[in-house]
């Protein structure tokens, strides 16, 4: 096993043996019981066509599929020949079912402003936006990039794209100009939807200014739609830029959702891999819809009177699947909160729960750990009695944080579901179901319907209970990525080429005798910083783009709050001195604040083999302040390790 398996959280996971059963009260009302799970899971593997056909049949199709699955490894097509529309299923279908007046989106801005949209109101806005996009020349299959704060317009724009068959590519509002430009260029978007600014910790984030700069190098870009969020007077380029509210005011509110092939692309979402260039993960219509629909209702035990809050920004896949598509496909009331978790103070999340009577909360371990640090007294000051279920996602959750979440936030009465999945998997893959399975703190749990996991060696040998190895999935599932946008070769190699005939997740894991899978972290050069994926190569190329840096190597080190922190080893260009503060600011500018190195070590050499390969294993040990373990004899200059360990950290 490689590096992440050595961090401290993992050590505690290995000794964890607590089993926390859901209350009898929760079990009695649960949507999926233990027996249901066993029966459904069996059927999903033995009769996948029957199982998935039944789930898909609960949704609206303009044309029924001819075949449930066509699998030509590594390419899957689901619900082949079927036609549907995700936005129609999320909105029109709910209104037709009598949910027109039910609140769909309940949004709170960082400044405390509240806006709500009923299902009918949301549908009307989405229809207008769909007409506005069409009026701007956006056609089926065209890519539209969204660079927005977490405001209702983000969901509206996504759904409007889905409604007309345009492919959205959401770029997180915290990403830099060059990250945005790369993603705009790779997708070849002709339209960018942004806002004048976003609000963060009381200040403004100038999204339009970044968008203008990114647009300069994007020849495909024709138009820009700008949401007026902050009313801060940004310049508009005549002939190119248009205000969102003006475009929607001119658009009609009649619109029929386009019937789209089940395999019509729904969205591209960029994520980091082990090479420098982020991958455009492509998801399509039918399978993604069915996967997010089913997992949202089963994992979150969703009922009609729930107030459901997933804290993820729409810039990440969690925001796509569980802030927008999954809950709306189930007719849920979704809370969206624009701002920082600790603004204006650490009680903000709990005030939101109390104010909006949130029943289901889905957030990340990094947030849980930072709340935990602030002490129990803060959440104790709020009425959290509305909560009935808690979820965790994005990185391994250490048992202490799991127990704290359960006890202090859940009052000991709420089941905690730890959900493992990825941008690529589209939907939750491993979890416990809250009324069916006891939780084991630190372990994600059992496979979702249709998911067949295994733990393997690099050579594809399947390992038994409690042996650590590589997490793979042995068959295709509806919401899996279809390809890497514009680079099918990379798709084949990365996911189905590492170990023959299985999907390679890139995570290390083990499975216990009950079948619970504990995910231990990435085995490739991908870091997980506060639940966000960052490629070490991406940060390295940002670093070497600075004139003072000749060479750079980036590794992760365990971080109590963020899960992993970023440590950069840099060799200065001769004649330059490296200024750590300036380098940090440079990385923020190049990628985004989330990639800022926590520590910078200015080195005179890096540990390399004779063939010139950097031995990151040793850099990780140095970064974590550990003594060097392992065979150093292949190093060209073994002395470099002692010199590095003695170098001050900036």
**Which residues are near ligand WT7 by CB under 6 A?**
271, 317-318, 393-396, 418-423, 444, 505-507, 519, 521-522, 528, 533
203 is in an annotated binding site: yes
Q: Number of H helices and number of E strands within the chain? A: 23, 33
Q: Is residue 65 a contact partner of residue 81, using CB atoms and an 8 Å limit?
A: yes
Distance, CA of 434 to CA of 118 (rounded, Å): 28
422 is in an annotated binding site: yes
> Considering the complex, what minimum distance in angstroms separates the CB of residue 341 from ligand WT7?
17
394 is in an annotated binding site: yes
Q: Give the relative orientation of helices 580-590 and 536-544 as an angle to the nearest 10 degrees.
A: 120
Q: Which residue is nearest to ligand WT7 (CB)?
A: 423
> Considering the complex, what minimum distance in angstroms separates the CB of residue 316 from ligand WT7?
6
612 is in an annotated binding site: no
541 is in an annotated binding site: no
* HSE-CB of 465 using CA atoms within 13 angstroms: 5
419 is in an annotated binding site: yes
Nearer to ligand WT7, 65 or 288 (CB): 288
CB-neighbour burial class of residue 97 (10 A; exposed 0-12, middle 13-18, buried 19+): exposed
333 is in an annotated binding site: no
DSSP code per residue over 450-512? T--EEEE-TT-PBP-TT--EEEEE-S--TTS--EETT-HHHHIIIIITTTTTSEEEEEEEEE-
Of 301, 302, 306, 291, the closest CA to residue 33 belongs to 301
Nearer to ligand WT7, 396 or 453 (CB): 396
Nearer to ligand WT7, 350 or 504 (CB): 504
Distance, CA of 614 to CA of 634 (rounded, Å): 11
Rounded to the nearest angstrom, the gap between the alpha carbon of residue 519 and the centroid of all alpha carbons in its chain is 16
Nearer to ligand WT7, 520 or 549 (CB): 520
395 is in an annotated binding site: yes
Of 356, 332, 387, 357, the closest CA to residue 107 belongs to 356
> Considering the complex, what minimum distance in angstroms separates the CB of residue 595 from ligand WT7?
13
89 is in an annotated binding site: no
> Considering the complex, what minimum distance in angstroms separates the CB of residue 175 from ligand WT7?
13
Distance, CA of 236 to CA of 160 (rounded, Å): 23
Q: Where do we find the tokens 């430009």?
A: 181
Nearer to ligand WT7, 312 or 622 (CB): 312
Nearer to ligand WT7, 331 or 445 (CB): 445
Q: Is residue 621 a contact partner of residue 627, using CB atoms and an 8 Å limit?
A: yes
> Considering the complex, what minimum distance in angstroms separates the CB of residue 308 from ligand WT7?
17
549 is in an annotated binding site: yes
Give the ranges where 30-151 is alpha helix by DSSP (H): 34-46, 48-56, 86-87, 93-94, 119-135
> Considering the complex, what minimum distance in angstroms separates the CB of residue 318 from ligand WT7?
5
Q: Is residue 37 a contact partner of residue 436, using CB atoms and an 8 Å limit?
A: yes
Q: Is residue 175 a contact partner of residue 148, using CB atoms and an 8 Å limit?
A: no
Nearer to ligand WT7, 117 or 288 (CB): 288
Q: Is residue 630 a contact partner of residue 615, using CB atoms and an 8 Å limit?
A: no
> Considering the complex, what minimum distance in angstroms separates the CB of residue 577 from ligand WT7?
36
> Considering the complex, what minimum distance in angstroms separates the CB of residue 112 from ligand WT7?
28
201 is in an annotated binding site: yes
Nearer to ligand WT7, 134 or 518 (CB): 518
Pick out the residues of the known binding site for Mg(2+). Answer: 544, 546, 549
Pick out the residues of the known binding site for CoA. Answer: 200-203, 318, 342, 530
Pick out the residues of the known binding site for ATP. Answer: 394-396, 418-423, 507, 522, 533
Pick out the residues of the known binding site. Answer: 200-203, 318, 342, 394-396, 418-423, 507, 522, 530, 533, 544, 546, 549
């Amino acid at each position: 096993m490689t590096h992440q398996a050595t961090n401290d959280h993992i050590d505690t996971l290995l000794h964890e043996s607590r089993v926390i059963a859901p209350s009898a009260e929760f079990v009695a009302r649960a949507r999926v019981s233990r027996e249901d799970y066993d029966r459904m899971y069996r059927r999903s593997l033995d009769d996948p066509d029957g199982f998935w056909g039944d789930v898909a049949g609960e949704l609206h199709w303009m044309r029924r599929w001819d075949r449930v699955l066509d699998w030509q490894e590594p390419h899957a097509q689901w619900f082949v020949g079927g036609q549907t529309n995700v936005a129609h299923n999320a909105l029109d279908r709910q209104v037709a079912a009598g949910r027109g007046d039910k609140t769909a989106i309940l949004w709170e801005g960082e400044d405390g402003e509240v806006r709500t949209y009923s299902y009918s109101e949301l549908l009307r806005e989405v229809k207008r936006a769909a007409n506005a996009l069409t009026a701007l020349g956006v056609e089926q299959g065209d890519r539209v990039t969204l660079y927005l704060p977490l405001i209702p317009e983000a969901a509206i724009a996504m759904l409007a794209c889905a409604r007309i068959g345009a492919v959205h590519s959401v770029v997180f509002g915290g990403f830099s100009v060059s990250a945005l430009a790369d993603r705009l260029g790779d997708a070849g978007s002709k339209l960018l939807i942004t806002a004048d600014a976003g609000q963060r910790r009381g200040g403004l984030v100038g999204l339009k200014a970044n968008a203008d700069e990114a647009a300069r190098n994007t020849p495909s870009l024709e138009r820009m739609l700008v949401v007026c969020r902050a009313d801060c007077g940004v310049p508009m380029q005549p002939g190119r830029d248009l205000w969102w509210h003006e475009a929607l005011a001119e658009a009609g509110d009649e619109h029929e959702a386009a019937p789209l092939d089940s395999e019509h692309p729904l969205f591209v979402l960029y994520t980091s891999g082990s090479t420098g260039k982020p991958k455009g993960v492509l998801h399509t219509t039918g399978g993604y819809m069915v996967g997010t629909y089913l997992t949202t209702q089963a994992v979150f035990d969703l009922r009609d009177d729930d107030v459901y809050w997933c804290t993820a920004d729409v810039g990440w896949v969690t925001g796509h699947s569980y802030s927008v598509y999954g809950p709306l496909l189930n007719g849920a009331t979704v809370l969206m909160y624009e701002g920082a978790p600790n603004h204006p103070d650490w009680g903000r999340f709990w005030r939101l729960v109390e104010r909006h009577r949130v029943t289901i909360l889905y957030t990340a371990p990094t947030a849980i750990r930072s709340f935990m640090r602030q002490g129990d007294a803060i959440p104790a000051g709020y009425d959290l009695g509305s909560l009935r279920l808690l979820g965790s996602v994005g990185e391994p959750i250490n048992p202490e944080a799991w127990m704290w979440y359960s006890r202090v936030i859940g009052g000991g009465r709420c089941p905690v579901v730890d959900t493992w999945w990825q941008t690529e998997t589209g939907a939750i893959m491993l979890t416990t179901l809250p009324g069916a399975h006891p939780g084991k703190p630190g372990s994600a749990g059992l496979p979702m319907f249709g998911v067949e996991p295994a733990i393997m060696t690099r050579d594809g040998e399947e390992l038994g209970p409690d042996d650590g190895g590589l997490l793979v999935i042995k068959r295709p599932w509806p919401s899996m990525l279809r390809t890497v946008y514009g680079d099918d070769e990379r798709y084949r190699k990365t996911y189905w080429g590492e170990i023959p005939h299985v999907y390679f997740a890139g995570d290390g894991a083990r499975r216990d005798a009950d079948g619970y899978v504990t995910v231990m972290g990435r085995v490739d050069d991908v870091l997980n910083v506060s639940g966000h994926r960052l490629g070490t190569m991406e940060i390295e190329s940002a670093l070497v783009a600075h004139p003072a840096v000749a060479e750079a190597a980036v590794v992760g080190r365990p971080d109590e709050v963020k899960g992993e922190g970023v440590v950069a080893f840099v060799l200065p260009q001769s004649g330059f001195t490296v200024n750590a503060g300036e380098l940090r600011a440079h990385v923020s500018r190049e990628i985004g604040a989330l990639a800022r190195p926590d520590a910078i070590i200015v080195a005179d050499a890096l540990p390399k083999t004779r063939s010139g390969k950097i031995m990151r294993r040793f850099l990780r040990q140095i970064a974590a302040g550990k003594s060097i373990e392992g065979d150093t004899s292949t190093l060209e200059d073994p002395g470099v390790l002692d010199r590095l360990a003695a170098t001050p950290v900036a």
